[in-house]
């Protein structure tokens, strides 16, 4: 789960990481009030779950409250890569002497958290990593021991020469690792970590992604979920305990298992079609899930044909068939559907579906080709 | 012969009184697996499908000599169940549970390695050695005894591939699902090394998906250490970046872990990648034919035993991943 910058900053501040003062606003009026109270130049920063907001014009400098009004009006409601900006962070504009990078992720290959630091922080960090990887310093942390103070000091020494700033940075790195671990983060990042003319080291930006599997024990972070910032169908799917990702094509896919769902999408593309979604109904045989799945797919106006591909292992096909019957009775889909069910209790399922006279397919490839033809005929 | 499980497997089922645990304990037993015990704290001295239940893994091992464990407990308790099995001296632990926090696994995997044991999963369907033993949830109806080793990161997609092999009369030695999470106990390389060392396995099918760099690492490993024919399938070619595709591990981030990158890496070392799961059998047959007619077989630098013990890759092989930065 992604949280917004202002939320990540709340978490960081609570852990003792210094951040510039600021507050979040949902209207230009609120933004002006915040800027007026701060009585100094501010940055207006769009809060959206997508990268590249600065280059899209979603981060602007406002000299005073009047400028803040103009800019907040412009940014709130702005469209950044398909997402509408609904909130802005109004935060003190700091004078900056240097920009560093500190980030922590789970390194899958090494099976350890890795802390990455660079004295060349800022918007071009990805380019730095690609072109001059020697400028990125990495430390793999033993998850059982945790981060030692000396390790944080050594990393800080890669960023600063001044002993005072080195100490501040080491302290921030320790605290960031603490946040990373305690919040069950998959990413905790400060880019840039800056020095001010007064010699202070502060986190100008904050990014925090949380492991979805851990949300049950992170109630404070789970409560930060911003449903407004997500695709409505995906929110609905999550509530129905389905895994769904909306795509741009016209063939709706209902599949059990993530790997098979991806392979089904790939085949749609391979045979000349475009998948409308990724949808995994999971391993359970709950017929209600099939109803929810069909409902979500039908809510996408682009869908011209629907493909069911269920490989019954643990999932019992008769349960899925009952779900299909219930879903059709309830939703009466007007787009054509092709069904491919293979595996556990296939015969029972065939009997249940016999009365509906729906097109069926024996193999995955056949099902995909049929769905593509159906979509073409509809379009 | 097979890998990891066979007739010598004596299985203890952790979480045997739960809905899934009870159902699959019975299924595994029916298949002929030697299910010697079940464990649910507080439910000792009861029975499930004729299998005696104990309060702890330690008790179960002492009473039955169990040497393998399978875990069906909820995600909140999964890491603890793994520690319990390892501390009771179990050397092979298969964790079926889906939704285990990554942080829990980071510590657990470190501990399992330190104890010299093997963990398969979590979030995996387990494994089956046809006609010998089944540990997990793979449907036994789709397998057939034979000489193909199957290793996969997914569940139902694996079934699809196995079913295609079985329909083509290409039986299997062992089919293993290693799990779709970012941090797992056993990776492709561990399984490839084991299949290479198993005399009954004559060819290998590897099924990967987007996310991480396990398939790329496996490609290099196959080039250097595997003498048997291998074909692959990679799911997720149409997956968009930065979206989690169901499996926690299936996410393309910062340009790393794409299907194309994986397919290219495999093709570069001569491993054909099937366009559809149903094409796997034909592709594998061709591959086997080419290997049998080839005059000079590749000479593998056999370091299989070294690789089989879970070793941390050298730092030089450090991640290629870029810092996930740039978001101003």
pLDDT at A285: 65
Same domain, B185 and B109: no
Given pLDDT bands bounded at 50, 70 and 90, which one contains residue B255? low
CATH code of the domain containing B41: 3.40.50.720
Is residue B60 situated within a structural domain?
yes
Q: Which residues contact B27 (CB under 8 A, 6 or more apart)?
A: B134, B137, B140
Q: Is the pLDDT of residue A353 over 50?
A: yes
Q: Is the pLDDT of residue B323 over 60?
A: no
Q: Is the pLDDT of residue B316 over 50?
A: no
Given pLDDT bands bounded at 50, 70 and 90, which one contains residue B253? low
Find residues 82-121 of chain B whose CB sits inside 8 Å of chain A: 98-103, 106-107, 109-111
Domains in chain B, number: 2
pLDDT at A14: 97
Q: Label residue A199 exposed, middle or buried (CB < 10 Å: 0-12, 13-18, 19+).
A: exposed
Find residues 30-69 of chain B whose CB sits inside 8 Å of chain A: none
Torsion sign (Cα): B195, B196, B197, B200: positive
Tokens of A233: 């169908």
Query: Chain A contacts of B137, Cβ < 8 Å?
Result: 313-314
CB B5 within 8 A of CB B60: no
Q: Is the pLDDT of residue B285 over 80?
A: yes
Given pLDDT bands bounded at 50, 70 and 90, which one contains residue B306? very low
Find residues 151-180 of chain A whose CB sits inside 8 Å of chain B: none
Tell me the angle at which helices A258-270 and B156-167 cross, rounded to the nearest 10 degrees: 70
CB A317 within 8 A of CB A349: yes
Is residue B283 situated within a structural domain?
yes
Q: How far apart are CA A264 and CA B296, in angstroms?
A: 38
Q: What percent of chain A has pLDDT over 90?
A: 81
Q: Is the pLDDT of residue B41 over 80?
A: yes
What does pLDDT average to over chain B?
A: 89
Query: Chain B contacts of A265, Cβ < 8 Å?
Result: 238-239
pLDDT at B294: 67
Same domain, B90 and B161: no
Active site residues of B: 247
**For A43, nearest residue in chain B (alpha carbons):** B328
Given pLDDT bands bounded at 50, 70 and 90, which one contains residue B55? very high
pLDDT at A269: 96
Q: Which residue has the higher pLDDT, A153 or B320?
A: A153
Average pLDDT, integer, range B249-259: 74
The H or E element that residue B106 is part of is: helix B102-114
Q: How far apart are CA A355 and CA A373, in angstroms?
A: 23
SS3 label, residue B81: helix
Helices (H), B1-56: 19-31
Given pLDDT bands bounded at 50, 70 and 90, which one contains residue B161? very high
Query: Chain A contacts of B236, Cβ < 8 Å?
Result: 262, 266
Q: Is B139 in Cβ contact with A312 (below 8 Å)?
A: yes
pLDDT at A274: 96
Q: How far apart are CA A292 and CA A327, in angstroms?
A: 8
Torsion sign (Cα): A142, A145, A150, A152: positive
Same domain, B43 and B1: yes
Inter-CA distances, B206 with A277, A278, B195, Å:
26, 23, 11
Is residue B327 situated within a structural domain?
no
Q: Is A108 in Cβ contact with B312 (below 8 Å)?
A: no
Same domain, B68 and B162: no
Q: How far apart are CA A236 and CA A228, in angstroms?
A: 12
**For A141, nearest residue in chain B (alpha carbons):** B106
**For A124, nearest residue in chain B (alpha carbons):** B326
Q: Is the pLDDT of residue B319 over 60?
A: no
Give the strands of the sheet with A22-25, arranged side by side.
A22-25, A88-92, A42-46, A59-62
Could you read off the pLDDT of B90-142 as tens digits, one per residue?
999 999 999 999 999 999 999 999 999 999 999 999 999 999 999 999 999 99
Could you read off the pLDDT of A262-283 as tens digits, one per residue?
999 999 999 999 999 999 998 7
A255 forms beta bridges with A280, A309
> Distance (Å) from the C-alpha of residue A339 to the closest C-alpha of chain B?
16
Same domain, B110 and B188: no
pLDDT at A198: 94
Helices (H), chain A: 5-14, 28-38, 65-75, 125-131, 149-157, 163-182, 219-222, 232-239, 258-270, 287-298, 317-331, 346-354, 364-378
Is residue B41 situated within a structural domain?
yes
Q: How far apart are CA B246 and CA B237, in angstroms?
A: 15
Tell me, which fold does domain A98-222 have in CATH?
Answer: D-amino Acid Aminotransferase; Chain A, domain 1 (3.30.470)
Is residue B324 situated within a structural domain?
no
Is residue B279 situated within a structural domain?
yes
User: Which of A110, A118, A181 has its CB closest to that of B103?
Assistant: A181
Same domain, B145 and B274: yes
A239 inside 8 A of chain B by CB: no
Q: Is A245 in Cβ contact with B245 (below 8 Å)?
A: yes
Same domain, B42 and B145: no
Domain boundary among B76, B93, B123: B123
The H or E element that residue B192 is part of is: helix B188-197
Q: Render A20-57 in DSSP notation, one character per residue.
A: --EEEESSHHHHHHHHHHHTS-EEEEE--SSS-TTTTT
Same domain, B116 and B199: no
Tokens of B118: 């093997």
Q: Is A105 in Cβ contact with B324 (below 8 Å)?
A: yes
Average pLDDT, integer, range A77-81: 90
Domain that holds residue B237: 139-312
Same domain, B9 and B118: yes
Q: Is B248 in Cβ contact with A212 (below 8 Å)?
A: yes
Q: Is A52 in Cβ contact with B160 (below 8 Å)?
A: no
CB B53 within 8 A of CB B47: yes
Q: Is the pLDDT of residue B325 over 60?
A: no
Could you read off the pLDDT of B109-121 as tens digits, one per residue?
999 999 999 999 9
Q: From the CB of residue B110, how many other CB atoms can be counted at a distance below 10 Å? A: 18
Tell me the angle at which helices A317-331 and A346-354 cross, rounded to the nearest 10 degrees: 20
Same domain, B278 and B150: yes
Q: What percent of chain B has pLDDT over 90?
A: 79
pLDDT at B314: 43
Average pLDDT, integer, range A36-57: 91
Could you read off the pLDDT of A7-39 as tens digits, one per residue?
999 999 999 999 999 999 999 999 999 999 999
Is residue B223 situated within a structural domain?
yes
Average pLDDT, integer, range A292-319: 92
User: Which of A110, A124, A186 has its CB closest to that of B102?
Assistant: A186
pLDDT at B312: 44
Q: Which residues contact A210 (CB under 8 A, 6 or more apart)?
A: A1, A2, A3, A183, A184, A185, A186, A218, A221
pLDDT at A284: 64
Q: How far apart are CA A9 and CA A11, in angstroms?
A: 5
Q: Is the pLDDT of residue B315 over 70?
A: no
CATH architecture classification, A231-378:
3-Layer(aba) Sandwich (3.40)
Same domain, B167 and B304: yes
Q: How far apart are CA B302 and CA B5, in angstroms?
A: 23
Q: Render B114-167 in DSSP notation, one character per residue.
A: HTT-EEE-SS--EEEETTTEEEES--GGG--EEEEEEEES-SHHHHHHHHHHHH
Q: Is B157 in Cβ contact with A109 (below 8 Å)?
A: no
Q: Is A52 in Cβ contact with B323 (below 8 Å)?
A: no
pLDDT at A229: 79
User: Which of A258, A311, A344 has its CB closest to that of B245?
Assistant: A258
Q: Is A103 in Cβ contact with B103 (below 8 Å)?
A: no
Q: Is A213 in Cβ contact with B326 (below 8 Å)?
A: no
Domain boundary among B98, B123, B148: B123
Q: Is the pLDDT of residue B301 over 70?
A: no
Q: Which CATH number does A21-92 carry?
A: 3.30.1490.20
Q: Is the pLDDT of residue B310 over 80?
A: no
Q: Is the pLDDT of residue B318 over 50?
A: no
CATH code of the domain containing B184: 3.40.50.261
Stretch among A211-215, A318-322, B14-18, B243-247 having the lowest mean pLDDT: B243-247
Q: Is A262 in Cβ contact with B99 (below 8 Å)?
A: no
pLDDT at A352: 94
Q: What percent of chain A has pLDDT over 70?
A: 99
Stretch among A86-100, A162-176, B231-245 having the lowest mean pLDDT: B231-245
For residue A211, the 8-state DSSP code is -
pLDDT at B114: 95
Q: How far apart are CA B247 and CA B143, in angstroms?
A: 24
Q: From the CB of residue B264, how many other CB atoms can be counted at a distance below 10 Å? A: 13
Stretch among A121-135, A244-258, B222-236 having the lowest mean pLDDT: A121-135
SS3 label, residue B68: strand
Given pLDDT bands bounded at 50, 70 and 90, which one contains residue B254? low
Can you give the residue ranges of every domain in chain A? 21-92, 98-222, 231-378
User: Which of A118, A260, A280 has its CB closest to that of B160?
Assistant: A260
B276 inside 8 A of chain A by CB: yes
Q: Is the pLDDT of residue B204 over 50?
A: yes
Instruction: Say how many Å lie between the first and final Cα of chain B, rounded.
Output: 57
C-alpha R_g of chain B: 19
CB B64 within 8 A of CB B57: no
Q: Is the pLDDT of residue B302 over 80?
A: no
Is residue B40 situated within a structural domain?
yes
Strands A59-62 and A42-46: antiparallel
What does pLDDT average to over chain A?
A: 93
Same domain, B108 and B253: no
> Distance (Å) from the C-alpha of residue A8 to the closest C-alpha of chain B?
14
Q: Is B110 in Cβ contact with A191 (below 8 Å)?
A: no
Q: Which residue of A176, A259, A284 to mutate against B (max B Cβ within 10 Å)? A: A259
pLDDT at B257: 87
B19 inside 8 A of chain A by CB: no
Active site residues of A: 101, 189
Average pLDDT, integer, range A155-169: 97
A272 inside 8 A of chain B by CB: no
> Distance (Å) from the C-alpha of residue A373 to the closest C-alpha of chain B?
19
Q: How far apart are CA A168 and CA A218, in angstroms?
A: 28
Q: Which residue has the tokens 């501390």?
A: B87
């Amino acid at each position: 789960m992604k949280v917004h910058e202002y939320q990540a900053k709340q978490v960081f501040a609570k852990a003792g990481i210094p951040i510039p003062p600021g507050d979040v606003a949902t209207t230009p009026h609120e933004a002006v009030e915040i800027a007026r109270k701060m009585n100094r130049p501010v940055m207006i920063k769009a809060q959206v779950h997508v990268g590249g907001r600065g280059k899209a014009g979603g981060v602007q400098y406002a000299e005073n409250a009047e400028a803040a009004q103009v800019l907040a009006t412009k940014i709130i409601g702005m469209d950044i890569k398909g997402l509408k900006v609904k909130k802005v962070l109004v935060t003190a504009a700091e004078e900056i002497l240097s920009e560093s990078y500190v980030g922590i992720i789970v390194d899958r290959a090494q099976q350890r958290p890795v802390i990455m630091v660079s004295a060349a922080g800022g918007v071009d960090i990805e380019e730095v990593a690609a072109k001059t990887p020697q400028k990125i310093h990495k430390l793999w942390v033993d998850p059982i021991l945790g981060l030692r103070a000396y390790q944080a000091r050594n990393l800080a020494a890669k960023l600063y020469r001044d002993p005072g700033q080195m100490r501040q940075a080491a302290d921030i790195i320790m605290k960031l690792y603490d946040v990373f671990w305690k919040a069950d983060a998959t990413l905790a990042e400060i880019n840039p970590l800056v020095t001010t003319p007064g010699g202070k080291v502060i986190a100008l930006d904050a990014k925090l992604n949380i492991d979805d599997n851990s949300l049950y024990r992170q109630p404070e972070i789970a409560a930060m979920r911003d449903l407004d910032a997500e695709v409505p169908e995906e929110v609905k799917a999550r509530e129905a305990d389905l895994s769904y990702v909306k795509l741009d094509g016209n063939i709706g896919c209902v599949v059990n298992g993530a790997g098979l769902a991806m392979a089904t999408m790939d085949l749609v593309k391979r045979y000349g079609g475009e998948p409308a979604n990724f949808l995994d109904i999971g391993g359970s045989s709950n017929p209600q899930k099939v109803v929810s799945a069909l409902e979500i797919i039908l809510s996408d106006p682009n869908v011209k044909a629907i493909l069911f591909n269920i490989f019954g292992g643990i999932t019992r096909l008769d349960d899925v068939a009952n779900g299909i019957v219930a879903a059709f009775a309830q939703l009466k889909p007007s787009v054509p559907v092709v069904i491919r069910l293979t595996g556990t209790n296939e015969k029972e399922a065939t009997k249940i579906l016999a009365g509906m006279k729906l097109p069926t397919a024996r193999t995955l490839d056949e099902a995909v080709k049929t769905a593509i033809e159906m979509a073409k005929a509809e379009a | 012969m097979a890998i990891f499980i066979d007739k010598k497997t004596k299985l203890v089922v952790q979480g045997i009184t739960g809905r899934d645990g009870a159902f699959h304990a019975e299924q595994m037993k029916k298949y002929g697996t030697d299910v010697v015990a079940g464990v649910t704290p507080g439910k000792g001295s009861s029975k499930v499908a004729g299998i005696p239940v104990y309060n702890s893994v330690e008790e179960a091992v002492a009473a039955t000599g169990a040497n393998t464990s399978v875990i069906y407990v909820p995600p909140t308790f999964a890491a603890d169940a793994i520690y319990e099995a390892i501390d009771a001296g179990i050397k092979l632990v298969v964790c079926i549970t889906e939704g285990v926090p990554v942080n829990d696994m980071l510590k657990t995997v470190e501990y399992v390695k330190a104890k010299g044991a093997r963990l398969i999963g979590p979030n995996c369907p387990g494994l089956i050695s046809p006609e010998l033993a089944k540990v997990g949830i793979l449907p036994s109806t789709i397998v057939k005894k034979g000489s193909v080793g199957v290793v996969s990161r997914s569940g139902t997609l694996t079934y699809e591939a196995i079913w295609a092999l079985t329909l083509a009369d290409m039986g299997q030695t062992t089919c293993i699902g290693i799990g779709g999470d970012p941090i797992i106990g056993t990776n492709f390389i561990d399984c490839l090394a084991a299949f290479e060392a198993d005399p009954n396995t004559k060819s290998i099918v590897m099924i990967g998906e987007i996310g991480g760099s396990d398939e790329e690492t496996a490609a290099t490993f196959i080039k250097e250490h595997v003498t048997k024919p291998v074909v692959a399938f990679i799911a997720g070619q149409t997956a968009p970046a930065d979206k989690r595709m169901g499996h926690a591990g299936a996410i393309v981030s910062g340009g790393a872990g794409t299907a194309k990158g994986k397919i290219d890496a495999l093709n570069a070392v001569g491993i054909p990648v099937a366009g559809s799961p149903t094409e796997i059998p034909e592709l594998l047959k061709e591959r086997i034919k080419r290997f049998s007619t080839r005059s000079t077989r590749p000479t593998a630098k056999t370091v299989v035993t070294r690789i089989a013990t879970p070793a941390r890759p050298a730092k030089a092989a450090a991640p290629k991943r870029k810092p996930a930065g740039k978001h101003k």
